[in-house]
Structure 1
Amino acid sequence: MLTGPNQEVLVTIQSRRPGTLTLAFILLLLNQVPHARAGQEARPPVPSQEKPAQQTAAPPVAGREGQAPAAAAPQAKDETTSKSPEGLPPTELSLREAIRMAVDGNLDIQVARMDPEQRKQDVIVARSIFDPTASGNSSRSKQTSKATSAFSATSSITDVFDAGIRKEFLTGAIATLAWNNQRSAVQLGTASFQFANPTYRSELTLSFTQPLLKGFGAKPDRLNVVITRNNLLVSQSQVRRTLLTTVRDATNAYWDLAGAISDLDVANQALNLAKNLLKLNKAKVEVGTLAPIEITQAEAGVASREEAVIVADNAIRTAEDS
């Protein structure tokens, strides 16, 4: 029942190497064998039989060649996602989360944040000498004498209460607010003659003094305030620098890891393509349409792609550790 040239080739191949090639792969070679033997066969092909052969052989070939890259991509993805040392499923990590984790886990930042607080306390202590100071004074005095006449005082009581606020400035100026109060009570020798008794006196005084020559400007105690302020600014700048450095390093490490993962995907896809090329070259060598040296070159390509996969995997581990 086999009369066409393609069928004769099919029978010849099956009789020479029984059980070595599958039927689908033999159909793949049907498109190449007639062209290879076109110079040897003088008999023209039969149109009525070549057309059905092309229609039946073409779909499997297109299906295999078109599905190979699509099948390689999921395989590369699975290999990339399964590279977990702990065997845990991969988790998504955004750049914002990576920066937050890097900042929270950096001990240098935590230590640097404590230094400005200490510097603030130094500024408060240095400025304490310029804080307003309040003062108060209260006293009572009593004098008793022997009455010599009806108008001479036999006893007198004086109560004094003073209060004030004093403020010193960096320029050497001094501001003072004073409130002085006095109460006097007099007891006469006879009660027949009375005066306005007791008597009160109250004064409120505000003064401001600014030295123009001596005592003007900064003194050692005032310079200490300036020094502590500068130390506070330096400490805050160091904290900002540490934060920016940490954010920069975390961003670079994040994109390095993303690039390493992409490189591993590309390396896996290249390895799958190299393996497919090796299989195809072996099949062509078995048929006789390709020199055996091509198998060696394809094997070298597979070994090179495997090395690239190992290098990319190590790059991912290095990026994860950083």
Structure 2
Amino acid sequence: MLVAASLFGTSTVVAKEVNLSLKQAIDRALTHNISVQNQYLSRITDKVALEAAEQEFEPQYMITIGDQSNSVYSSTLAQHEQNTQTSVGGSIRLKNELGGQLELNLAQQKNEYEGFDPQYASTLTLSYKQPLLRGAGSKVAGASLRQAKWHELSQQLRMQQFLTEVIGQVVTQYRSYQLALHAMKISQHSFKRAQHQVQTNSALVEAGRLSHSEYVQSRVALANQKLALKRAENELDQARLLLLQILRLEEHTNLNLTEPLAVSAPNLNLARMVTTGLKNRPDYLQAKLNVRSNDLNLSVANDEQNWDLSLNLSYQLMGSEGHFTDSLAYQGHLNQGDYSIGLQLNIPIGDKIKRQSLYNAQIALYQSQNSLYELESKIRLELLNSKRNIETGWEGLQLAKSYLALTREQLSLEQEKLAAGLSSNFHVVSFETQLVDAENQFISAQISYLNQLTVLQAQLGTTLTAWQIKLEPESGISVNNMKAYRLTAGPHQEGWNSHE
């Protein structure tokens, strides 16, 4: 139970204890961390943008309604003449994958002149425009849609990288708290041993088998261990608060970490590691995507250097009469409309901007290719270095384990010698210090080794797979559920196995 002081007295705050495995900590962070929720909200806008881009080759509908009043001065009549035009129309546009565009327009117009009966006009127009040079072909015509899909893939890779970093932070902080817990337990055990040694030395002094100065040394060692225990408790609470902050839990929550410090010997193959990394790492996949995107941009820039030659086809039916239905009838049959076919050529002269765009696209492609090559070399070196660190860390862990066993045996033997009057308290205190150091080294070696494996997961791009994390929640990401990612004020505690 925690007691917190207030301005008007004291108030009791009941601390909750939460059993927390490492997987639970990761799941908690991914569902309650504000930065993660903001990233999911950004993903909603990404999906909306892709849906909009995918409509490029779908029919586009438009309705147009207009009403206009005019006052025209007539020099013949020396007065203004009033007229009103009301129009209603609709159009359908369809772009094909070769760059052509088909458009159907239907317009109805009513003209009212002062002193005359209204006149109605109906127009039906079907037109088709097909680029023959610039803008022609599926590669150029579909470039914007392809870029939109690549952008969506790029955002997925960015999300994967972000979640990997968040998981890495949670794992590191979880193990930092584990390290602080073990450090405090080591300090507690050392403090108890120092207390026991003081009691033993007191009995030896009374029996005349130990000098008073050595008894004072044991009291000094006890005071030093008490100070070390206080420091360990403070560091433990600091680590707890940092973990609570990541998990978005209340500051009074006590955490019972249930994840064991399980380690096993490494079995690493550099060739397989490199293959896995190049297949899964989001930064490498993003670099490859950048090359493809810049290559497409170069194709579009090359296409922009062409002349604008297009084939234009149109067909039109028109009718005008004093009644609306008559205007439709007077449009005639389909074979009575007006046809047109033609070619149009636009030749730009001295357009340096397009030439500059071509150079920029070429340079961007070369730069992305260079970056991809550099990143691949960097990944190989990172994995080689990580493999060496893990193997060295395992060897160091085994040495720390042996060192711990020897220091325990050394202290036990020295305590027996002291009890028999064959040693001094100075040696016991020194060996006690060595034991505490060995215990801390062993725990630190375990945590460091596990953290190196976590770093390797990130370098291989397998973090989400290893922790069974999906890139998107089960409920999906859409405009319909965007409110699910709006967190309320204050930490959430729902669904946790806790007790007061």
Could you say which structure has the greater relative contact order, defined with CA pairs below 8 angstroms and 6 or more residues apart?
2
TM-score (norm 1): 0.48
Larger of the two Rg values belongs to structure: 1
TM-score (norm 2): 0.32
